[in-house]
Every structure is written in structure tokens, then in C-alpha cells.
Amino acid sequence: TMNAIATGQHAIVIGGVVRADLQPARYSSGGPIPSQHRIGPDALAVSDDAIVRSGVLAAGTRSGSVVAMNGTSVAAPMITRYIAEDLARGGRGNRAAVASLAERQEEDLTEHCATLQESAPQRPKPQRGGAGRIRLAPMNNLRMSEDEL
């Protein structure tokens, strides 16, 4: 996400992608300008389910409630979760790790579409999509058992 807080030399910039067509969301920024080390965001993560179904479902403010939230402010925390898991496994958890994940997932998407004899959705240019699109599994049905409460 791009805002006054998300600054610094090593900030990881995540743009938004629409899950249905895997294209950048219209509102998604192209990354920090000027920059010597990048020409767009580092990668894209899901920020909307579809153009007609804006947002992704997230926990609401009341117990058991659900709301649709959208924007790069939804995409960035998904990557933050990946970084935390990567660090817990002993990984680097940095921009290079995020770029590597995006590159792998772009290759997987191309292979998957070839297996289905379909054409892969056009990959966004680096200025809009960075290293590629990251499709992390949504965190659905995460409920605490009575023993955990």
C-alpha cells in the first residue's frame, strides 16, 4: 500500500489484483516514484474478488460479522502474513522473497493454464505488476474452539 507511513528504503510495495481476471485493480498504484531500484510495485495480491463483486470478505467489527473490504490496504496484509510465515520458517522475509514467490506463482499459472489447454491471463507489465501476481489462500473458516477461548 502507498501512504505516508509506508515509506523507507526497504519498504515492500504491494498493488491490488482482481481475483476473477487476475488483472491489476484500476485504483492500484504503479509503485514509488522516483526510484532507482524498481519501476513499479514489488508484486500484486488479491484486493477484489471481481469487478462486479468489489472487495474480499474479511472479519467485521462485531462478533461473527463479515464485511467486504477492498484496496491495496487489503492486499498488503496478505503479504505481511506470508512474510511472517517465511521468517518463522527461517526464510529471508524481504523484498527478494516476495519477488521470488511472485515469479514462482506466475510460472505455476502459465503451467496450469497450459495443462488445461487454456491461455494464461496476460501478465501485467512490471510498471503495474512488479514481479507478478501472488494468489495466497484466503483465511476462511478460522474459528477458535471452546478449548482455545
Cβ-count burial of 36 within 10 angstroms (0-12 exposed, 13-18 middle, 19+ buried)? exposed
Main-chain dihedrals φ then ψ at residue 87, nearest 5 degrees = -65, -40
DSSP run (H or E) holding 95? helix 95-115
Is the pLDDT at 138 greater than 50? The verdict is: yes
DSSP run (H or E) holding 44? strand 43-48
Closest CA to 94 of 129, 23, 42, 56: 42
Residue 141 banded pLDDT, cuts 50, 70, 90: very low
Closest CA to 103 of 118, 73, 123: 123
The rounded mean pLDDT for the chain is 82
- Give the C-alpha separation, 5 to 9, whole Å: 12
pLDDT at 145: 47
Note the pLDDT tens digit of each residue in 26-71: 988 776 655 666 678 899 999 998 888 888 888 888 888 888 888 8
- Give the C-alpha separation, 81 to 79, whole Å: 5
